[in-house]
Amino acid sequence: MRTVSIVGARPQFVKLAPVSRAMSCAQDQGRPAIEDFIVHTGQHYDPGLSDIFFSELDIPAPGIDLNIGSGAHGEQTARMLQGIERVLLDIQPDMVVIYGDTNSTLAGALAASKLHIPIAHIEAGLRSFDRAMPEEINRVVSDHVSDILFAPTTTAMENLGNEHLSDRSILVGDVMLDAIRFNSSLSLLKSKILDKLQLEGQRYGVATLHRAANTDSGRLRLLLDSLNRVASDYLPVVFPVHPRTVARISTECPDWKPGPRLMVVDPVGYLDMIRLTEIASVVLTDSGGLQKEAFFLNTPCITLRDETEWPETVDGGGNILVGTSQDKIHQAVGKVLSLAADGDSKPSFSAEKYFGDGDAAGKIVAEIADFLSR
Ligand code: UD1
């Protein structure tokens, strides 16, 4: 059986890793062998956003890198679509596997569906119900043209049901939980980030910021000032800055400067990010993936958005949605830190209750093998 996995952006490499590993074990488990050809669109091309994930997560090298790079949405997606179509015509796979909700996901979905190749969508059914987000369009279109929808949570299953997609949907749990469970002892062993940033034994927070709605608007300055205020009033904050955010800071607010306790660093690899997140007292982010990673690692998260695709993290007591108001952000950090000071150990957010048993990838591969044998 031949599959093609299409990825291109940082969060997709994390989702691919457990699936790729499970595919390579399929034959040992009495299933037909699955030969997976990885197409890297090149959406993320900086080594710190791409290569390091392949090496740390032990993902096989891509069969092809389309080197598409950055661009406006239409232009970037169109170039991916052209490149992916050529590869699919050449390889003639039995199935295409797409991951998450980036422009690479959308291009893979469109190219495969036009060629009538069955599609499996991993992390299907997520909805923010905000069509202004490029990712929301990518999710909706990808789900509707896919043949198997692998949902990470019951909420995702309900969303798919509401769009009349139940007959194609399977609840498998979250492959990002698989990735954390597989890699957290490795990160303890290998990551030197706390030492490098001189944070060993210290309280600190971690912040990330890259959503278009936050970076490509007047909100950017407010959010950056909020991070400075949190760092100055409460605790040092490590801020690995996404290249999109670096680019926007230089055009929107070139005079902005981080305060002394806001530690601006380059993007970090997966093992360092897990380590930083696990030991942090609080995470501030607009990333979907990091909201979950914080939850899986029992670190309280404050989400700098008005809505989340991961309401389980809020219901489970691990995430506070604050939007972008400086005062709300500040109060939320104060609340999280005072709760931590009252208790003597880390909270426990019961990842398994909402996100499966840490073997979503095994279930996905079993279903793919079954689908292709029919
Ligand atoms: C993309 C995804 C987003 C995901 C994020 C994870 C879409 C629509 N968005 O956003 O859902 O959360 O990845 O990081 O697909 N850039 C570089 N080097 C790179 C990549 C990007 O410098 O390797 C800069 C460029 O200036 C580029 C900008 O970042 O224009 C944005 O990159 P892009 O791929 O458009 O989207 P992300 O913001 O990374």
Mean pLDDT along residues 352-367: 97
The residue segments making up the domain with residue 109 are 2-174+356-373
**Lookup: tokens for 195:** 């030492």
**Which residues are identified as catalytic?**
210
- Residues 79, 191, single domain; the answer is no
134 CB within 6 A, ligand 1 = yes
- Residues 192, 272, single domain; the answer is yes
How much distance in Å is there from the Cα of 57 to the middle of ligand 1?
20
How much distance in Å is there from the Cα of 71 to the middle of ligand 1?
9
- Residues 154, 35, single domain; the answer is yes
Q: What is the pLDDT of residues 31-64, one digit of tens each?
A: 888 999 999 999 999 999 999 999 999 999 999 9
The pLDDT-based confidence of 121 (bands split at 50, 70, 90) is very high
Closest ligand 1 atom, CA of 138? 8
**Alpha-carbon 49 to chain mean position:** 12
Predicted confidence (pLDDT) at residue 170 exceeds the cutoff of 90: yes
Q: pTM here?
A: 0.97
How much distance in Å is there from the Cα of 135 to the middle of ligand 1?
11
- Residues 347, 363, single domain; the answer is no
Cα separations (Å) of 257 from 261, 285, 322? 11, 19, 24
pLDDT at 340: 82
Q: b/e string for 362-374 if b means 16 or more Cβ within 10 A?
A: bbbbbebbebbee
Q: Yes or no: say if 7 and 104 are a contact pair by the CB < 8 Å rule.
A: yes
Closest ligand 1 atom, CA of 104? 15
Pairs from 273-278 (Cβ < 8 Å, separation ≥ 24):
273/240, 274/180, 274/183, 274/184, 274/187, 274/191, 275/187, 275/188, 275/191, 275/193, 275/194, 276/193, 276/194, 276/206, 276/238, 277/206, 278/184, 278/187
Q: What is the pLDDT of residues 218-257, one digit of tens each?
A: 899 999 999 999 999 999 999 999 999 999 999 999 999 9
- Residues 334, 318, single domain; the answer is yes
**Lookup: tokens for 105:** 């996901």
The pLDDT-based confidence of 344 (bands split at 50, 70, 90) is low
Query: Average model confidence (pLDDT) for the chain?
Result: 96
- Residues 347, 206, single domain; the answer is yes
Total structural domains within the chain: 2
Of 26 and 165, the structure prediction assigns the larger pLDDT to: 165
The pLDDT-based confidence of 146 (bands split at 50, 70, 90) is very high
Closest ligand 1 atom, CA of 106? 15
- Residues 315, 193, single domain; the answer is yes
The pLDDT-based confidence of 329 (bands split at 50, 70, 90) is very high
- Residues 345, 360, single domain; the answer is no
| DSSP assignments along 313-343, one per residue | HHHTTSEEE-TT-HHHHHHHHHHHHHHHHHS
10 CB within 6 A, ligand 1 = yes
- Ligand 1 atom 19 nearest Cα: 44
Predicted confidence (pLDDT) at residue 325 exceeds the cutoff of 70: yes
- Residues 162, 213, single domain; the answer is no
**Lookup: tokens for 130:** 């905000």
How much distance in Å is there from the Cα of 221 to the middle of ligand 1?
19
- Residues 132, 198, single domain; the answer is no
- Ligand 1 atom 4 nearest Cα: 102
- Residues 199, 158, single domain; the answer is no
CATH number, residue 261:
3.40.50.2000
Q: Yes or no: say if 120 and 98 are a contact pair by the CB < 8 Å rule.
A: yes
**Lookup: tokens for 28:** 């040992």
- Residues 286, 330, single domain; the answer is yes
Q: Yes or no: say if 268 and 10 are a contact pair by the CB < 8 Å rule.
A: no
Task: Say whether 250 sits in a helix, a strand or coil.
Answer: helix
Pocket-testing residue among 14, 16, 244, ligand 1, by greatest number of atoms within 8 A of Cβ: 244
Mean pLDDT along residues 279-308: 97
